[in-house]
Amino acid sequence: MSPAPRQTGVRAGAETPKLRVLQVSLHHPELVRGGAQQVCYELFEGLKARGDFAPVLLAATDDSAPALFRSGARITGFDGRPDEHLFLTSEFDPFWHRSSNKLLAESFAEFLRLIRPDVVHFHHFMNFGADYLTLTRRVLLDCRIVFTFHEFLTLCHHYGQMVRRSDRSLCDRGSPVRCHQCFPEIAPEMFFARAEWFRRHLSVVDAFTVPSRFMIDRYVEWGIPAGKIVHIPNGQRNYAAGVQAEPKRGKRNRFGFFGQLVDGKGMNVLLRAAALLRAQGFDDFLVEINGDNLRYATPAAQSEFERLRAAEEALPVEAQRVLFNGPYHVEKLPRLMARVDWCVVPSVWWEVFGLVISEAWMFRRPVIASDVGGMAERIRHDETGLLFPMGDFRALADTLRRAATEKGLWDRLVAALPPAPTRETMVEAYARVYRDGANTVQAALARAAE
Amino acid sequence: MPYVSDQPLSLSEAVSFDEAEYLRRYPDVVEAIERGKYRSGREHYERYGRAEGRVFTALPSELAEVAVGVATGFEPSAPAAPRHAIDAVLIAEDGWVCVVGWVDDSAEPLCSLRIEGRGWSATAAGRALPRLVRADVQKALEVDEARSFGFLLLIRTGARISPPRECRVAFQWQGQEMVLLAPARTVSPQEMLTHVLTLLTRAGGNRLDTMLALKGGLGSEIARLSRAVSGALVRAPFVERFGDQKRQPKTSIIVCLYGRPEYLFLQNALFANRPGIEECEFIYVCNSPELIERLLKDAACGTTIYGLSQTVVGLSGNAGFGPASNLGAGLARAGRILCLNPDVFPREPGWAARHNAIAEAGGAGSRLFGTTLFYDDGALMHGGMYFALDPVVAVRPGFVQSDMFARVEHYGKGAPPDTKSFLRPRPVPAVSGAFLSAERAWFERLGGSPRTMCSAITRTPISVCAAWRPVCRCGCRICRCGTWKGRARRQARSAPPRIW
C-alpha cells in the first residue's frame, strides 16, 4: 500500500492543507448521462462543498461531442467551469481498454505533474486506458490511487454486464473458455492475456470501492486482494428536498420506469407485462416510460420496443395504459415521481447498484425490481419493495396487479423504506479512504457493525 | 439466326473466359470466325472447344477447369503426345524463374523440360524435375490413384533478366517435342517465394511426395530464394530507439513480431517494473510492414508509461524468424541475447532477475538455455524439445516407398504444471526459440539463428540447437499464449492471393 498522501508545506499549528483529489471519469454527465459519471460528479461536488478537499475533475469525451475537440489539444477546460477538465480521447481500443495515442499519454502525465493531486480516483479506465493507472503511479510515486468498479468490465468484455451473449442468462464467472464462448471470434488465450493486462495495471491501486457488497466476492475471486476493497454505496443529493407532501390517494396503480432504453434495463419486459395485463382483462393501471438512448439498444430490442409502442399508441387515448414521456433530466424528477406510485426496475443484468432505486426512495416510492444483483441486495422482498424473477414478464404482470390492487401494501412498504444513501454519507466514506486507505476504513466499518 | 447455346458456359467458365486469349491461342478458330462459321470464340468453345480440351484463359484461376494442353504445331499424323499444360510462368528480374504445370507421363516419362526467354534459357532433366500431386489434374484426367502429375521448377538463371511477355516451354519425350507459348508474369522474389510455398501447402497426396520433391533439389532452391529474399530485406532496416539508451543492458531481449501488433504493448505491460527488467533492453523486429506505424506508437506509449528502453526495427517484408532474430542480435547492446516469442509472458515476477543471475554465474548450461513454458490454462507446454524419427510411406505400383522424417516434439506437453521430471534443469536436444537465452559472442560464432526455414512448407521456425548443447532450466516460469486454430484461420484469410 502506498504511504498516506503527502501533505506539503505543513507547519506546526498551521491549517491542514486541502487534500487535492483528481476524479477521473469516463464521461462528463453533462455530455453523456450515465450512472458512473453521475456518481463521480456527485462526489466531485460533494468534496467541493467540504472545506478540506480540493477536487479536480477530468472527464473524457469522445467523438460524440466533436465540437469540443480543439485542434492540437488533448486536455482542455470544460464550459468555463472551474476545476473541470475534458480529456479528448482518441484511438481507443475497447477490448484492451487502451489508447495508442502517445501524445495523450504524455499530456495526461503532464497534467498530473501540473495538478499534483494527492489522490487520483479512477471511476473508470474506459476512454483513458487501463495503463493510465500504471502511468499515474510512475508519475506520482506518493499519491494514493483509488479505483471504483461501477460494473464488471474488467471481468467481462460484454459491456461489463456479465450476461451471456448466447442466451442472455446471467454469468457469474468469467474464464478464457467461457468468454470465448460469448465471443467465438476471439481466442481464449486473448481473454487470458486481457485479464493479465488488467491485473497488471490494477496492481498499482491502493484502494478499490464497490457500490454493492455482492461485487466484492466477484472481484476477490478474480484476484483483487480482499483487504483492498471497501463497500461504499453510491450517494446522491436529495432531489426531493423541498418537495411538498402529496395528498393521500386511494389507488396505488401508477408505475414508472426511469432509465436508459437499452437492453440491460429491461424496458421491454415491463411493456410485455403491461400488454399481458390488458390481455387478461385488467386495465386499471398506468405505466409511464421515462428515458432515452433507444439508439444504443440492440436492433432486436429497438424493434420490439417500437412495435409495442406503436401498438399502444394505435389504441384510442382513453384505452392507452402506457405513456412514453421521452428523456428527462434529474431536475424533472419531482414532477415525474409525483405522477407514479411505484418505480419499476426490470433490469436484465446484475445492475450493480441502481441509482434509480435511491431516487425512488427519495420520493418515498417503493420499487418493484428484478431479483438479482444490486437490486436484490438493496430491496427486501415484501418488506421494503417487491422482487420478481428477472426477465419473467408474466411474474412482473402478476406483481404489478398485486401492487395495484392489494390494500395496504403500498403504505406498509413505504413505511419501511430505508433512507436513500446521501451524497454526504458517500463523500464522508470516500474522504476516509482518501486519507486512511482501504484496510483502515474496512476495520472501522467492521467495528461499527459490531 | 440468333445463336442460343445448348451447352452454355458454366459460372466458373463465364468468369474466367478470355475471348482475346482464346483467339490468340487458336488461329484456326479465328479463321473459322472469319469464314462465318462461328460468331465468337466463346461460341466455338461452347460447341466444340470444351470437348477438345482447349484452354480459354491466360492464367487459369482456381475456378477454371483444368485444360488439357494443346501444343502449337500439332500434326494429326504424329503419335499422340502425353497430356500436359503450363499453369504459370513467374519471372523475377534478378533471374529467378518458376514454372508450374503438369504432365501425364505415366506411359512415357518426360525426358526434359526447357524454358526459353529473351536471351536466356534453362533446362531441367525429366527425372530431376520436382513433381507434386495435383488433385485438380487428377480429377480432370479422371484418374483415381494419386500421381505426381504436377511439377514445380524453380531455378535461377544466374543473371538479371528482362522479363518477357511470354516464354517458350518445350516438353521433350523420346523423339518428340511439344512446345507451348506460355504468358510470363513478372513478380518480385518475395512474391515468387510466397507463391511457391503456397503451392507446396496446397499440394495434395502423400507427405512423402512433397518431401521427395523438396529433397530432390526443390528444397535447396527454395532455401536459396529464401536467403536472397531475407537478405535483401534485412540489408535496409528501419530502426527507431526509445527510452534511455545510455544505460548498458545486461540482456537484450529480441522479439520477432508478425501479424499481431498487440503483443508489444502486452509484453511492455507484463514485463515492466519487475525485478531485473531494468537491466534488459527490448528489441522488436517487425516482419509485418503494415504494423510498423502502429508499433512505433505503442513503443512510444510504452516508454512513456513504463520507462522501458526498447527498439523497434521495421522491415519492408517478412524476412522470416531466423533472419529477423539475427538482425535483432546485430543491434543488441548487451552481451546476452534472449530470443523471446511475442506471445510469451512471465508467470513469476522475479524471472528476469533469476535469468540474469543464471547468465552471470556462468558455468555449464549457462551458455545456451531455455525454460519451461506453460499454456494460458496452466498446463505445461514445454519442458525442452527433442526429435523423433518416423517412417513415412507411399504405396506405388509394385512397391512401397518410404523415407524417414524428423519430427519435433516437446517434453511434457500438456502435463500438469508441477510435474517435477520436466521442471528440473537438465541437458536437452533442443530448446524453443520462444525462449532461448544465449551468450551473444557464442551465438555469433555459431552463425546466429538458422537463416533457412527448417520447415519450408509451413514457414514456422524450429530452433534447432542440437549442436549447441542447450539446457532446459526451470525457474524462469514463462506463460505462452499458445496457438489457436482461429489464428490459423486468420492467417489463411491473409494468405497471399492465388498465383493463377
What CATH number corresponds to the domain at position A94?
A: 3.40.50.2000
DSSP of A235-260, one letter per residue?
A: -B--TTTTPPPPPP-S---EEEEES-
Tell me chain A's radius of gyration from C-alpha atoms: 23
Q: Do both A442 and A390 map to the same domain?
A: no
Cβ-defined contact of A100 to B270 (cutoff 8 Å):
no
Q: Do both A355 and A434 map to the same domain?
A: no
pLDDT band at A53 (very low <50, low <70, confident <90, very high): very high
Residue A242 falls inside a structural domain: no
Q: What is the model's pLDDT at position B470?
A: 46
Q: Kindly give the confidence (pLDDT) of every residue in chain B, 500 residues in length, as a single tens digit, with 9 standing for 90 and above.
A: 334 445 566 655 665 677 888 888 788 888 889 888 898 998 888 888 876 767 676 544 333 334 333 333 333 444 566 788 898 899 998 889 999 999 988 888 888 999 988 888 888 888 888 888 888 888 888 887 777 888 999 998 877 777 778 889 999 988 788 888 888 889 999 899 988 988 888 777 777 778 888 887 888 899 999 988 999 899 989 999 999 888 899 999 999 999 989 999 999 999 998 999 999 999 999 999 999 999 999 999 999 999 999 999 999 988 988 899 999 999 999 999 999 999 999 988 888 998 988 888 887 678 888 888 888 888 888 788 888 898 888 777 788 888 888 888 888 888 888 888 888 888 888 888 889 999 988 787 777 665 443 322 222 333 333 334 444 443 334 444 433 333 333 333 332 221 21
What's the mean per-residue pLDDT of chain A? 91
Dihedrals φ, ψ of B43, to 5°?
A: -60, -45
Name which of A100, A111, A128, A137 to mutate to probe chain B: the one with the most chain B Cβ atoms within 10 A of its Cβ: A100
Dihedrals φ, ψ of B273, to 5°?
A: 60, 30
Average pLDDT over residues A121-137: 96
What are A131's three cell numbers? 495503463
Residue A2 falls inside a structural domain: no
Residues B263/B264/B270/B276 CA torsion (nearest 10 deg): 130
Residue A249 falls inside a structural domain: no
Residue A307 falls inside a structural domain: yes
Residue-range definition of the domain harbouring residue A162: 19-236+423-449
Contacts of B343 in chain A (CB under 8 A): 189
DSSP of B315-375, one letter per residue?
A: -SS---HHHHHHHHHHH--SSEEEEE-TTEEESSTTHHHHHHHHHHH-STT-SEEEEEEE-
Question: How far is Cα A319 from Cα A313, in angstroms, rounded to an integer?
Answer: 9
Q: Is the CB of residue B33 less than 8 Å away from at least one CB of chain A?
A: no
Q: What is the model's pLDDT at position A81?
A: 94
Q: Is the CB of residue B265 less than 8 Å away from at least one CB of chain A?
A: yes
Q: Is the CB of residue B270 less than 8 Å away from at least one CB of chain A?
A: yes
Q: What is the model's pLDDT at position B27?
A: 81
Residue B294, C-beta contacts closer than 8 angstroms, at least 6 positions apart: A100, B261
Question: How far is Cα A136 from Cα A112, in angstroms, rounded to an integer?
Answer: 8
Q: Do both A208 and A266 map to the same domain?
A: no
Cβ-defined contact of B269 to A131 (cutoff 8 Å):
yes
Cβ-defined contact of A101 to B304 (cutoff 8 Å):
no
Contacts of A101 in chain B (CB under 8 A): 297, 301
- Total domains in chain A come to 2
Q: Is the CB of residue A97 less than 8 Å away from at least one CB of chain B?
A: no
Residues B81/B85/B86/B87 CA torsion (nearest 10 deg): -170
Whether the Cβ atoms of residue A267 and residue A257 lie closer than 8 Å to each other: yes
Q: Do both A145 and A104 map to the same domain?
A: yes
Average pLDDT over residues A145-171: 93
What letter represents residue A68's amino acid? Answer: L
- Is 90 exceeded by the pLDDT of residue A232? yes
- Is 70 exceeded by the pLDDT of residue A450? no
Q: Which residue of B has its CA nearest to A139?
A: B305
Cβ-defined contact of B272 to A197 (cutoff 8 Å):
no
Average pLDDT over residues A275-285: 95
Residue A11 falls inside a structural domain: no
Name which of A190, A194, A199 to mutate to probe chain B: the one with the most chain B Cβ atoms within 10 A of its Cβ: A190
Nearest 5 degrees, angle CA B2-CA B5-CA B9?
135
Average pLDDT over residues A336-343: 95
Residue A246 falls inside a structural domain: no
Q: Do both A26 and A164 map to the same domain?
A: yes
pLDDT in tens, A378-408: 999 999 999 999 999 999 999 999 999 999 9
Cβ-defined contact of A131 to B301 (cutoff 8 Å):
yes
- Is 60 exceeded by the pLDDT of residue A344? yes
Where are the alpha helices (H) located in B178-312, listed in sequence order?
189-202, 207-213, 219-235, 262-271, 292-306
- Is 80 exceeded by the pLDDT of residue A254? yes
Contacts of B493 in chain A (CB under 8 A): none
Using alpha carbons, list the distances in angstroms from residue B183 to B21, B57, B58, B71, B120. 10, 10, 7, 14, 16
Cβ-defined contact of B304 to A100 (cutoff 8 Å):
no
Contacts of A107 in chain B (CB under 8 A): none
Distance from CA of A237 to the nearest CA of B (A): 37
Q: Do both A37 and A118 map to the same domain?
A: yes
pTM of the model: 0.79
Q: Is the CB of residue B114 less than 8 Å away from at least one CB of chain A?
A: no
Average pLDDT over residues A46-55: 94
**Smallest Cβ distance to B294: which of A100, A138, A190?**
A100
With b for 16 or more beta-carbon neighbours within 10 A and e for fewer, the A288-306 pattern comes to bbbbeebeebeeebbebbe
Q: Do both A193 and A284 map to the same domain?
A: no
Q: Do both A400 and A432 map to the same domain?
A: no
pLDDT band at A326 (very low <50, low <70, confident <90, very high): very high
Q: Which residue of A has its CA nearest to B490?
A: A185
Question: How far is Cα A159 from Cα B340, in angstroms, rounded to an integer?
Answer: 34
With b for 16 or more beta-carbon neighbours within 10 A and e for fewer, the B130-143 pattern comes to bbbbbebbbebbee
Q: Do both A220 and A302 map to the same domain?
A: no
In three-state secondary structure terms, B5 is coil
Q: Do both A220 and A270 map to the same domain?
A: no
Q: Do both A203 and A275 map to the same domain?
A: no
What are B3's three cell numbers? 445463336
Cβ-defined contact of A189 to B481 (cutoff 8 Å):
yes
What letter represents residue A334's amino acid? Answer: P
ipTM entry: 0.82
Among candidate residues A327, A299, A325, the one with its CA nearest the CA of residue A312: A325
Q: Do both A206 and A298 map to the same domain?
A: no
Contacts of A138 in chain B (CB under 8 A): 305-307
pLDDT above 70: percentage of residues in chain A? 94
What letter represents residue A442's amino acid? Answer: Q
Residue A10 falls inside a structural domain: no
Average pLDDT over residues A12-21: 74
Cβ-defined contact of B266 to A193 (cutoff 8 Å):
yes
Q: What is the model's pLDDT at position B455?
A: 29
**Smallest Cβ distance to B304: which of A106, A185, A200?**
A106
